[in-house]
Amino acid sequence: MDMDWGSIGFSYNKTEWRYVSNYKQGAWDEGGLTQEDTITLSECAGVLQYAQTIFEGLKAYTTADGRVVTFRPDLNAARFSDSAKRLEMPLFPEERFIEAVEKVVCANRQWVPPYGSGATMYIRPYMFGSSAVIGVKPAEEYQFRVFVTPVGPYFKGGIKPIVIRVSDFDRAAPHGTGDIKAGLNYAMSLHALITAHNEGFSENMYLDPATRTKVEETGGANFIFIKKDGTLVTPKSGSILPSITRRSICYVAEHILGMKVEHREVFLEELPDFAECGLCGTAAVISPVGKINDHGKEISLPSGMENIGPVLKELYDTLTGIQLGKLEAPEGWIHEIPLD
Ligand code: PLP
Ligand code: COI
């Protein structure tokens, strides 16, 4: 594929093949690959009227020895089931989820960026209510799809530190849908995101919606903080998305790098005590934060605005080393895509 991989951003580039399966009368059809990238729907489809839609995000990587792999897709499949249950959608069998991912990556393998290019293939599985509903209730028919698109860094500048602000908007309600990957969580973050961008910030730090004293996450990534003594701290809350990247980083920190890890409530007033701050997720990987603006009060992380801090750098190198097959992975983390 003749692409300037080093200069692509996080945007949609259409590839040839995608996977589609339809749910009707209580059962999923056989499903399969198609080149059709548009969808025709009832004007009254559940997804269009009441936002009944969920999604996942994972990546495919080319390893140094030329294999194509994904990272812990079983956890994406499991989280997809959790999201489906919460929105009263049918479950898509988890082994079929992984098979669909394999098929779409394999069919578009010329779009998987080469090893060392800095780009990766982003994989987007999703499901939505496709039949008509006008009274508020779950749809009776659903469509499951997977497409892929090559992507570069989520934030412009790659791993250059960003500036974020504490938001006055909430992304989730207590006992709401913050812990699942539903499109509605992202729709309601758009106004907060655009106002943050207009004021010069890359992202929002959302607080716990009940007391507004604790750190939750951003619109698309979990937080990790490094204390001055080197301990990794990550917020615990029922309304943040359980990031697979964050869970993997905590494992790497504790079991590979021998760091102390604390998964607990993190108070806004603790922010000045941290040495480093990063956003982590499939899209964000680990994106360092240089400054956090809390209503005009600037909290500058000691790691500064020039480079990622030393501890996050080590975590970044270890995580991406595992994902790219340079470092040995814990059992079951690397899923090779069969390329027939
Ligand atoms: N938090 C939110 C709100 C997200 O959308 C994402 C992206 O998936 C994450 C965190 C990171 O999760 P993961 O590491 O599983 O990609
Ligand atoms: C991901 O990291 O996969 C996400 O879904 C985040 C999204 C905001 C791009």
| 24 CA from centroid of ligand 1 (Å) | 30
Instruction: Render pLDDT for 19-34 as a digit per residue (tens, 0 to 9).
Output: 999 999 999 999 999 9
Contact residues for 289 (Cβ-Cβ < 8 A; gap 6+): 161, 162, 163, 164, 277, 278, 279, 301
Ligand number, closest to the Cα atom of 124: 2
Instruction: Render pLDDT for 13-71 as a digit per residue (tens, 0 to 9).
Output: 999 999 999 999 999 999 999 999 999 999 999 999 999 999 999 999 999 999 999 99
Atom 7 of ligand 2: nearest residue by CA position = 220
Instruction: Render pLDDT for 102-155 as a digit per residue (tens, 0 to 9).
Output: 999 999 999 999 999 999 999 999 999 999 999 999 999 999 999 999 999 898
Residue 1, pLDDT above cutoff 80: no
Mean pLDDT value across residues 189-203: 97
Half-sphere exposure of 187 (CA within 13 A, CB side): 11
Share of the chain above pLDDT 70, in %: 100
Angle at 78 between CA 76 and CA 84, to 5 degrees: 100
**Token pair listed for 65:** 């020895």
Question: Around Cβ 40, how many Cβ atoms within 10 Å?
Answer: 6
Atom 5 of ligand 2: nearest residue by CA position = 57
Q: What's the confidence (pLDDT) of residue 185? A: 98
- Cα 326 from Cα 340, distance rounded (Å): 24
> Which atom of ligand 1 has the smallest separation from the CA of 79?
15
Location of structure tokens 């701050």: 277
Look at residue 257 and give its three-state secondary structure. Answer: coil
pTM metric for this prediction: 0.97
In short, whether 220's Cβ falls inside 6 Å of ligand 2 is: yes
In short, whether 281's Cβ falls inside 6 Å of ligand 2 is: yes
- Alpha-carbon distances of 236 from 19, 213, 267, 333, rounded to whole Å: 35, 13, 11, 23
User: What residue ranges in 168-322 does DSSP mark as E strands?
Assistant: 203-205, 222-227, 232-235, 261-264, 274-281, 285-294, 297-300
Instruction: Render pLDDT for 218-249 as a digit per residue (tens, 0 to 9).
Output: 999 999 999 999 999 999 999 999 999 999 99
Average pLDDT, the chain: 97
Beta-bridge mates of residue 86: none
Q: Is the CB of residue 155 less than 8 Å from the CB of residue 195?
A: no
- Cα 83 from Cα 73, distance rounded (Å): 15
Instruction: Render pLDDT for 151-185 as a digit per residue (tens, 0 to 9).
Output: 998 988 778 999 999 999 999 999 999 999 999 99
In short, whether 83's Cβ falls inside 6 Å of ligand 2 is: no
Catalytic residues: 181
Q: What's the confidence (pLDDT) of residue 302? A: 96
Q: Is the CB of residue 111 less than 8 Å from the CB of residue 59?
A: no
- Cα 27 from Cα 133, distance rounded (Å): 19
